[in-house]
Amino acid sequence: MKRTMKRVIAKSFVFAAACVAAGDIHLPKPVTQGGKSLMQALSERRSARDFAGRDIPVQTLSSLLWAATGVNRADGRRTAPTGLNVQDTDVYVMLASGVYRYDTGQNALKLVNPGDHRAAAGKQPFAQTAPVNLFYVHDRSRGMKADESNTQRYAGIHAGAIMQNVYLFCAKEGLATVARANIDYDACAKALRLAAGQSIVLGQSVGYPPNDGYIGRQAAIRTALERAKFHESEVGRLKCELDREDGVMVYDVEFKKNGFEYEYHIDAKTGTVVKAKKERD
């Protein structure tokens, strides 16, 4: 397998429905060190309801999910606490490419429903276009067993702990987010293909804030094709994703033509071509 392809599989998964073949997503190792101080993140924590159209890089998504409720100890305990460590709440992730369940043990997104189901994400329009919607889903079979009211109360608390972890990660990462209870729960449960005993406690939309100065995916593709002197209709397997390379955000544009594979890195802010590569396919 070519180095370029290995790289694509390992770290360059694009979420846009147009670019992704639906399947499980194996997440890269989350980054669990560094970032803003806790007090700074708390100072910056807030709800925001406007999102740029661009996707969240898979590395950032991996760290976000780990912050939400990832395993942080050898015995399988998590970043978010649960009463008696019942771990009764799953995080479902709705992207343009499909609905997935975050598998904390495997650090993977398990595909549960391919396709763009964001119309069912919530009643507020921003939820239907946000690049990432998280849903905190309670599984009664794993919940606190004492009595029904206890089960419900704990389910809410458990989702709340995850929600605040996500808020703090977003504050640290410069992402916009808002918790959401304003959901058509039946429609959304269908999109999430929930079984009996599973229920959505809360949703949370996540994305980049608008006007972040990035040129956008279409402009990056245009720049790469201009550099190669091809028209979009002439190339195959066109992919474009936002990625971080040596600390700089770039659009990684790839396509194939006449037995060659082309790869361009376009600086996400300036639109400059910072890398151009052509190799036999």
Chain residues binding ligand FMN by CB under 6 A are 46-47, 49, 124, 178-182, 202
DSSP summary character for residue 194: P
Task: Considering the complex, state which of residue 132 and residue 225 has its C-beta at the smaller distance from ligand FMN.
Answer: 132
Spatial separation of the C-alpha atoms in residues 64 and 168, rounded to whole Å: 10
Spatial separation of the C-alpha atoms in residues 137 and 202, rounded to whole Å: 8
Task: Considering the complex, state which of residue 144 and residue 202 has its C-beta at the smaller distance from ligand FMN.
Answer: 202
- For residue 68 the two structure tokens come to 């939400």
* Minimum distance of ligand FMN from residue 173's CB (angstroms): 16
Contacts of residue 34, Cβ cutoff 8 Å, sequence gap at least 6: none
* Minimum distance of ligand FMN from residue 11's CB (angstroms): 32
Task: Considering the complex, state which of residue 43 and residue 106 has its C-beta at the smaller distance from ligand FMN.
Answer: 43
Contacts of residue 147, Cβ cutoff 8 Å, sequence gap at least 6: none
* Minimum distance of ligand FMN from residue 269's CB (angstroms): 27
- For residue 111 the two structure tokens come to 């595909």
Task: Considering the complex, state which of residue 170 and residue 240 has its C-beta at the smaller distance from ligand FMN.
Answer: 170
Q: How many CA atoms lie within 13 A of 140 on its CB side?
A: 14
Spatial separation of the C-alpha atoms in residues 266 and 134, rounded to whole Å: 30
- For residue 24 the two structure tokens come to 């499980």
> Are 137 and 164 within 8 A, CB to CB?
no
Residue nearest to ligand FMN (CB): 182
Spatial separation of the C-alpha atoms in residues 3 and 1, rounded to whole Å: 6
Beta bridge partners of 264: 253, 276
* Minimum distance of ligand FMN from residue 276's CB (angstroms): 43
Task: Considering the complex, state which of residue 47 and residue 272 has its C-beta at the smaller distance from ligand FMN.
Answer: 47
Task: Considering the complex, state which of residue 64 and residue 179 has its C-beta at the smaller distance from ligand FMN.
Answer: 179
Spatial separation of the C-alpha atoms in residues 5 and 195, rounded to whole Å: 37
* Minimum distance of ligand FMN from residue 151's CB (angstroms): 18
Task: Considering the complex, state which of residue 178 and residue 240 has its C-beta at the smaller distance from ligand FMN.
Answer: 178
* Minimum distance of ligand FMN from residue 136's CB (angstroms): 10
* Minimum distance of ligand FMN from residue 211's CB (angstroms): 19
